[in-house]
Amino acid sequence: MLNQRLEEASMADSLTGLRNRRYVIDNIEREISTTLRPYDSRNDSGAPRRSLLLLMLDLDGYKQINDRHGHDVGDRILFQIGLILEEACRTSDILARWGGDEFLIIGQVSEQKHARILAERIHRMVREFPFGLEGRPQLHMTCSIGFACFPFFPANPSLVSWKQVLTIADRALYIAKNNGRDGWVGLFSKEKIYHGDLLQAMLDEPEKLIAGAFLEIDTSIPKELDCSLNAINVTTDRAR
């Protein structure tokens, strides 16, 4: 019994009560197997094909909150983000604190629009929530969100691994951060298959894949996005 409690504690984030990175790494293969089963031509169960959404959330300006108001307020904000995610998501979704002020949501979706609906719901709830400690002035936060779905190419599910899809979701998060923050960006494949170093092109030149109709961007940001590496300063921790 004690060992079981210790094992469960090792899979949870002590501050927010959500899952942690270790839980995701130890359990995501089960989610992947469930997702891929209907794509197997040998499987005639008739189960509908779904995608596994990988959604990453990062708080805007969190470092400044810690510096200005102290770590007690910063920790309280992270705890409150956990509450928001629990309210916004389904009980079947995996909610994890990925590290620092970055969170990862994993869940099954049947259509691309369901991913954008969840991203918009979380984005709106964070904007509207009165953060902070009791007895102190309320703080208003925003977040940036990036997401992608596995399998990235449904016609060829094994072409891109879940770890690579997570990298693509993180790339989408970078794009949101560097186009004004306070918004969400989703990256999706088109039906065409890219012949070349797909992941490198996805990270280095997504605008090239968009122009070639290999990649589609879905976003809440009301302007033409700059997706180039020139728009991303990786040395400043996304200018949190």
H or E element, residue 143? strand 143-150
The CA distances from residue 185 to 110, 147, 178, 197, 239, in Å, are 19, 7, 11, 22, 17
Three-class DSSP category at 13:
coil
Catalytic residue among 13, 58, 101, 182: 101
Q: What is Dmax (Cα atoms) for the chain? A: 61
The CA distances from residue 67 to 50, 73, 99, 134, in Å, are 43, 10, 18, 19
- 78-101 exposure pattern, b = at least 16 Cβ within 10 A, e = fewer: bebbbebbeebbeeebbbbbbeeb
Distance CA 92, CA 81 (A): 18
Instruction: Tell me if residue 101 is catalytic.
Output: yes
Tokens of 106: 């994993």
What are the residues facing 58 on neighbouring strands? 102, 144
The sign of the dihedral angle between the CA atoms of 130, 136, 137, 141 is: negative
Three-class DSSP category at 144:
strand
H or E element, residue 95? strand 94-99
Catalytic residues: 101
